[in-house]
Amino acid sequence: MPMKPMPLASVVSSCVLAAALAALAVFTPSARADDVSLGQNQLCGLNTARPDRNPAVQVKTVQGRNGPIGYARFGRGAPLLLITGYRATLGEWNAYFLGELAKHHEVIIFDNRGVGRSAIVDGRFGPDYGMREMAEDAADVIAGLRLGRVDVAGWSMGGMIAQQLALDAREKVASLTLIATAPPGPDAVPLTPQVQHVLASSGRDAFAQIMAVLFPANVVADASKCFVGDMFAPRDYTGRPVSDAVAAQQNQAMTRWFADSAAAAALRSSPVRTLIIAGANDDVLADSNARQLERIIPRATLDIVSDAGHALMYQYPIELARHIGAFVSR
Q: Answer yes or no: pTM beyond 0.75.
A: yes
Q: Residue 200 gets which letter from DSSP? A: T
Residues whose CB falls within 8 Å of the CB of residue 84, separated by 6 or more in sequence, listed in order = 90, 92, 93, 109, 111, 112, 154, 155, 156, 157, 158
What is the phi/psi pair of residue 55, to 5°? Answer: -65, -15
What average pLDDT does the chain have? 89
Indicate whether 307 pLDDT > 60: yes
Parse the chain into domains and list their residue ranges.
Answer: 32-329
Please name the amino acid found at residue 325. G
Q: Between residues 279 and 21, which one has the greater pLDDT? A: 279
What would be the CATH architecture of the domain defined by 32-329? 3-Layer(aba) Sandwich (3.40)
Q: Between residues 161 and 124, which one has the greater pLDDT? A: 161
Q: CA angle, 60 as apex, 54 and 63 as ends, to 5°?
A: 155
